[in-house]
Amino acid sequence: MLSQTRLKTPREISELDAQHVLVPWKKQGGPRGLPITRAEGVYFWNADGKRFLDLTSQFVFTNFGHGERRVVDAIARQAAELPVMASSFVTAARAEAAQAIAEVTPGDLNRVFFSTSGAEANEAAMKFARDLTGRPLIVSRHRSYHGSTFGAMTLSRDDRSWPFEPALPGVMSAPLCDPYRCPFAPPGERCTDCAGHCVSLLEDVLQQYGPHRVAAIIVEPITGSNGLIVPADDYLKQLREVCDKYGILLICDEVMTGFGRTGRWFASELFGIVPDIMTMAKGLTGGYVPLGATVVREGLAKQWDTRPLLHGHTYSNHALACAAASAAIAVYRDDHLVERCAEVGPYLLQRAEWLMSRHSSIGDVRGKGLFVGMELVRNRTTKQRLIETGAPSPTVKDRVLAKAMEEGVYVMAGQASNVIVMTPPLTITREQIDEGVDVLDRALALADAEVETSSTW
């Protein structure tokens, strides 16, 4: 029997949640997080009225902040008019959303398949690549993250996927490009040709499995959840050339990096490339409605003009979600948020570098736009990670983030145990950045206490 009594206290809400909700990535008997009652701009409030600065846009999706009325109103209008239709019918909402995406994606990325998440978008990309090329293999890169569905999990292969091995067959792994930890760099230094060396390693993997059998290589232009790793400047251009050389499709997963996050509409543009397939979600609707998209270049997608596209979901092309996407893209454009990120982003990077100058536990700072990471190390010379992979919680990073939360600043934990990410809404001000950095400055003392006394500053 359903309760007709409105819950009034945070304790009642938490108890009901614990009884019925399975929470992602957590022990179900552990802490479940704070009951949240409202959010606006770059802040949200718990049930006790305490305010928190959202320094990571929740899970890097509230790109234009919380409570944006233009998107909320578009959702309400679509809900009243036509919230959903089967994908066998045409709606104005999906046609207009697809057009809006085609207008902001680079090159001839023109045909859009809508799903409900980034993981589903990547699942579609895998199937599309195999179908379009007739080849069986997909190459992903170490330390990537493409989602938690079975195929996307196989692309990721981080420690969260280990309990579910064996993974999907036909997915091969290759090294990524990490200038801070390049295996070709002298100890304590950076590689002078990181792009060339890392592309060469990846091409060796192609040769081992037969490049003529590889349908696609999937990359995050900037690795997100597993470390916010910015590749060497020329890496993606060289990778694009390798793909063209062997007729391999290049898939760019822009789920985190899309929609202004790096100071461009998509991070691919930062590196001067056009992928064959691009995936997106998160910022596509600002997180207001679940929506993912897989965008294919026009010349490739024409293959499906004369034969079926053998993929779909119940909620493909969901009208309500598509209306949210069109409204969100209009907000990015009307408020010049992509350009604003390009202006404010260097300030966030500068403040992160200031934190590094004060804290021996920070070994590296990197990022583009409002997509900045700080890597924690035990020793700056050896670059030894402060926390070992798979270390039991709470780790020192967990304690740092908990301390920040106590002081009213939320930073998502992320998968990379040694990297603190700062990915605030694109609407954040310099003063609000200072607010978050000042709190992290105090919290990072907990990490400094773990650093070897012999660390080199």
The lowest-confidence range among 28-37, 183-192, 287-296 is: 183-192
The letter for the amino acid at 163 is P
What is the three-class DSSP state of 163? helix
Mean pLDDT confidence for 369-378? 97
The CATH number, out of the four listed (3.40.50.970, 3.10.450.50, 3.30.70.2500, 3.90.1150.10), of the domain defined by the range 10-64+336-448: 3.90.1150.10
The string of DSSP codes covering 422-440 is E---TT--HHHHHHHHHHH
pTM for the structure as a whole: 0.95
In the chain, % of residues over pLDDT 90: 83
pLDDT at 450: 92
Asked if the model's pLDDT at residue 305 lies above 60, the reply is yes
pLDDT tens figures, 216-273? 999 999 999 999 999 999 999 999 999 999 999 999 999 999 999 999 999 999 999 9
Tell me how far apart the alpha carbons of residues 382 and 397 are, in angstroms, rounded to a whole number.
19
For residue 134, count CB atoms less than 10 angstroms from its CB and return exposed for 0-12, middle for 13-18, buried for 19 or more.
exposed
Query: Looking up tokens 């109103």, which residue turns up?
Result: 73
pLDDT attached to residue 201: 94
The model's pLDDT over 204-229, given as tens digits with 9 standing for 90+, comes to 999 999 999 999 999 999 999 999 99
> What pLDDT is stored for residue 1 in this prediction?
42
Domain limits, CATH 3.40.640.10, in the chain: 69-334
Tens-digit pLDDT profile for residues 338-367: 999 999 999 999 999 999 999 999 999 999
> Looking up tokens 């045909």, which residue turns up?
111
286: helix, coil or strand?
coil
pLDDT at 109 > cutoff 90 = yes
Q: How does residue 122 score in pLDDT terms, banded at 50, 70 and 90?
A: very high
Between CA 367 and CA 356 the distance in angstroms is 14
Look over the chain and give the mean of its residue pLDDT values, rounded to a whole number.
94
**Mean pLDDT over residues 285-314, rounded?**
97
Fold of 69-334: Aspartate Aminotransferase; domain 2 (3.40.640)
Query: pLDDT, tens digit, for every residue of 132-171?
Result: 999 999 999 998 999 999 999 999 877 888 888 888 899 9
Helix (H), strand (E), coil (C) string for 6-55: CCCCHHHHHHHHHHHCCCCCCCCCCCCCCCEEEEEECEEEECCCCEEEEC
Half-sphere exposure for 294 (CA within 13 Å, toward CB): 28
Evaluated on CA atoms 26, 32, 37, 38, the torsion sign reads: negative
pLDDT of residue 170: 94
Residue 409 three-state SS = strand
What contacts 316, CB < 8 A, 6 or more positions away?
A: 87, 113, 114, 115
pLDDT at 287: 97
Burial (CB count within 10 angstroms: exposed 0-12, middle 13-18, buried 19+), residue 188: exposed
Q: How many whole angstroms separate alpha carbon 194 and alpha carbon 142?
A: 16
Contact 66, 288 (CB under 8 A): no
Tell me what pLDDT residue 33 has: 86
- Predicted confidence at residue 3, as pLDDT, reads 52
Is residue 250 within 8 A of residue 272, CB to CB? The reply is no
d(CA 328, CA 265): 13
Helical packing angle, 396-406 and 430-443, nearest 10°: 130
Q: What is the mean pLDDT of residues 85-112?
A: 97
pLDDT recorded at residue 4: 52
User: Is the per-residue pLDDT at 5 higher than 70?
Assistant: no
pLDDT value at position 455? 46
**Nearest C-alpha neighbor of 25 from the set 57, 56, 59, 55:** 59
Tell me the average pLDDT across 177-189. Answer: 85
Give start-end residues of each CATH 3.90.1150.10 domain in the chain: 10-64+336-448
What is the model's pLDDT at position 215? Answer: 98
Phi, psi dihedrals of residue 305, rounded to the nearest 5°: -70, -25
The DSSP-derived string for 334-388 is HTTHHHHHHHHHHHHHHHHHHHHHH-TTEEEEEEETTEEEEEEEEETTTTEESS-
